[in-house]
């Protein structure tokens, strides 16, 4: 017993050390991303501008993928597919990314990603050590929820990179908030490691909370993209209407993917995780049915999960409704994410209810 207790204390200690170490490495990654953006600003790429302000009379008609027929030669190519944007959509090429095509910037970007991977592994170790020290899933209170949440958010980002999605530009925004999240976790929310009260003993807890964390991380990626979409869309609008955006906006936004790509990406991300969010709420209802004798009781946390769900359903509906696509839908997506955030922090801190044993 005493021996086991000592190991647990050691593990808890190790976990804390690892979390601090991860924060240090994330900070390095943060500076590397910043450097990438700074070097990138030397580039003079104005693809968006070129696409939108080239001569108005039918220039910039090039399809996203051009096909060159092997005309005249006997050598045949396999047929290539021509892809066209839908009517009304701007055909703007994606930006090159934060490094802006600058070689040194790209190098720093790669360093930043490597550091992010390293920090992620360290943080993951910290979360696992915490879990081992308490011999349960690492989400019994808000401190644990926060460290797990940021680990999963970075994990989602790295997974998208590993899938060769064009998301490296997300890095700076993500790492900034991860640092904030961890800062709050270790200062305000820290709770010494301990076990759970009986109401939290249920395998539904593992299912419900782990999917809730994953959904939150993915929704977060969607929300960041949506904000960037709004900026980029205004920028493109301004250009298209003959305006001249400021140099900072130009330098910053030119490097991001086109507004259409950002919009598509955030929709995909949100839509992909919506069924999982639905499942999370249902798993929570089943757990509540087991723990409290009713599967739905309009407890504040349940209510806000429902509000979040309806808000995302609104967003998905908006995209199928004429007149609500684009910016309006984007505002809905951000509102929905704000609901999620409020459910996560606001309800625990301001409202309370049966879920508040999660040890603020």
Give the footprint of other proteins on residues 298-317 (CB under 8 A).
298-300, 303-304, 306-307, 310-311, 313-314, 316-317
Q: In this structure, are residues 285 and 301 in contact, taking their beta carbons and an 8 Å threshold? A: no
Q: Compare residues 42 and 317 and give the one whose CB is closer to ligand HEM.
A: 317
Rounded to a whole number of angstroms, the minimum distance from the CB of residue 172 to other proteins is: 25
88 binds, among ligand HEM, other proteins, none (CB under 5 to 8 A by kind): other proteins
Verify binding: residue 313, ligand HEM, rule CB under 6 A: yes
Distance CA 196, CA 334 (A): 34
Site for other proteins in 72-111 (CB under 8 A): 72-74, 76-91
Q: In this structure, are residues 18 and 118 in contact, taking their beta carbons and an 8 Å threshold? A: no
Verify binding: residue 307, ligand HEM, rule CB under 6 A: no
Q: In this structure, are residues 330 and 230 in contact, taking their beta carbons and an 8 Å threshold? A: yes
Distance CA 158, CA 46 (A): 28
199 binds, among other proteins, ligand HEM, none (CB under 5 to 8 A by kind): other proteins
Rounded to a whole number of angstroms, the minimum distance from the CB of residue 210 to ligand HEM is: 22
Verify binding: residue 229, other proteins, rule CB under 8 A: no
Find the part of the chain contacting ligand HEM (CB under 6 A) among 99-107, 282-290, 315-323, 351-359: 315-323
CA dihedral of 94, 263, 346, 22, whole degrees rounded to 10: -30
| CA 53, chain centre distance (Å) | 32
Q: In this structure, are residues 168 and 98 in contact, taking their beta carbons and an 8 Å threshold? A: yes
Of 249, 177, 187, 255, the residue nearest 216 (C-alpha): 177
217 Cβ neighbours under 8 A, 6+ residues apart: 149, 152, 153, 155, 156
263 binds, among ligand HEM, other proteins, none (CB under 5 to 8 A by kind): other proteins
Figure out which of the listed residues 84, 180, 317, 349 binds ligand HEM, where binding follows CB under 6 A.
317
User: Under DSSP, is residue 291 helix (H, G, I), strand (E, B) or coil?
Assistant: helix
Distance CA 70, CA 75 (A): 7
51 binds, among other proteins, ligand HEM, none (CB under 5 to 8 A by kind): other proteins
- Would you state the structure tokens that stand for residue 91, as one six-digit string? 């055909």
Verify binding: residue 163, other proteins, rule CB under 8 A: no
Q: In this structure, are residues 253 and 235 in contact, taking their beta carbons and an 8 Å threshold? A: yes
Classify residue 6 as exposed, middle or buried by CB count within 10 Å of its CB (0-12, 13-18, 19+): exposed
2 binds, among other proteins, ligand HEM, none (CB under 5 to 8 A by kind): none
206 binds, among ligand HEM, other proteins, none (CB under 5 to 8 A by kind): none
| Residue that is written with structure tokens 């999963």 in the block | 152
Q: Compare residues 203 and 296 and give the one whose CB is closer to ligand HEM.
A: 296
On the CB side of 206, how many CA atoms lie within 13 Å of its CA?
7
Quick note: the x/- pattern for other proteins over 245-264, rule CB under 8 A, is ---------------x--xx
249 binds, among ligand HEM, other proteins, none (CB under 5 to 8 A by kind): none
Of 256, 268, 259, the residue nearest 156 (C-alpha): 268
Rounded to a whole number of angstroms, the minimum distance from the CB of residue 259 to ligand HEM is: 21
Verify binding: residue 159, other proteins, rule CB under 8 A: no
Q: Compare residues 44 and 201 and give the one whose CB is closer to other proteins.
A: 201
314 binds, among ligand HEM, other proteins, none (CB under 5 to 8 A by kind): other proteins
Figure out which of the listed residues 75, 87, 320, 322 binds ligand HEM, where binding follows CB under 6 A.
320
Longest dimension (CA), the chain: 85
User: Length of the chain in residues, anyone?
Assistant: 360
Site for other proteins in 38-77 (CB under 8 A): 51-52, 58, 60-61, 63, 66-74, 76-77
Write out the residues near ligand HEM by the rule CB under 6 A. 313, 316-317, 320
């Amino acid at each position: 017993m005493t021996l086991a207790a000592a190991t647990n204390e050691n593990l808890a200690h190790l976990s804390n050390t690892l979390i601090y170490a991860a924060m240090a490495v994330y900070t390095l990654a943060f500076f590397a991303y910043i450097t990438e953006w700074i070097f990138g600003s030397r580039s003079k790429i104005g693809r968006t501008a070129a696409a939108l302000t080239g001569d108005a009379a039918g220039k910039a008609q090039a399809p996203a993928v051009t096909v060159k027929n092997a005309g005249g030669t006997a050598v045949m190519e396999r047929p290539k597919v021509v892809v066209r944007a839908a009517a009304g959509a701007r055909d703007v090429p994606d930006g090159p990314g934060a490094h802006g095509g600058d070689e040194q910037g790209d190098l720093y970007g790669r360093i930043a990603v490597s550091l992010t991977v390293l920090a992620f592994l360290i943080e993951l170790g910290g979360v696992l050590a915490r879990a081992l020290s308490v011999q349960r899933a690492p989400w019994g209170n808000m401190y644990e929820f926060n460290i797990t949440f940021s680990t999963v958010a970075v994990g989602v980002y790295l997974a998208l990179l590993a899938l060769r999605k064009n998301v490296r530009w997300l890095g700076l925004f993500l790492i900034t908030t991860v640092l904030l999240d961890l800062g709050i976790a270790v200062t305000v929310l820290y709770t010494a490691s301990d076990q759970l009260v009986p109401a939290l003993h249920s395998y539904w807890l593992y299912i419900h909370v782990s999917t809730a964390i994953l959904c939150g991380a993915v929704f977060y990626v969607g929300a960041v993209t949506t904000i960037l979409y709004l900026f980029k869309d205004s920028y493109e609008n301004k250009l298209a209407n003959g305006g001249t955006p400021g140099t900072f906006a130009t330098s910053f936004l030119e490097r991001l993917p086109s507004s259409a790509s950002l919009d598509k990406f955030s929709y995909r991300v949100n839509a992909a995780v919506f069924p999982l969010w639905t499942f999370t709420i249902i798993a929570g209802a089943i757990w509540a049915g087991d723990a409290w004798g009713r599967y739905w009781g309009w407890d504040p946390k349940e209510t806000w999960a429902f509000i979040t769900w309806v808000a995302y359903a609104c967003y998905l509906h908006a995209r199928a409704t004429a007149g609500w696509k684009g910016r309006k839908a984007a505002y809905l997506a951000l509102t929905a994410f704000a609901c999620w955030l409020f459910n996560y922090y606001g309800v625990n801190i301001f409202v309370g209810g049966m879920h508040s044993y999660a040890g603020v």
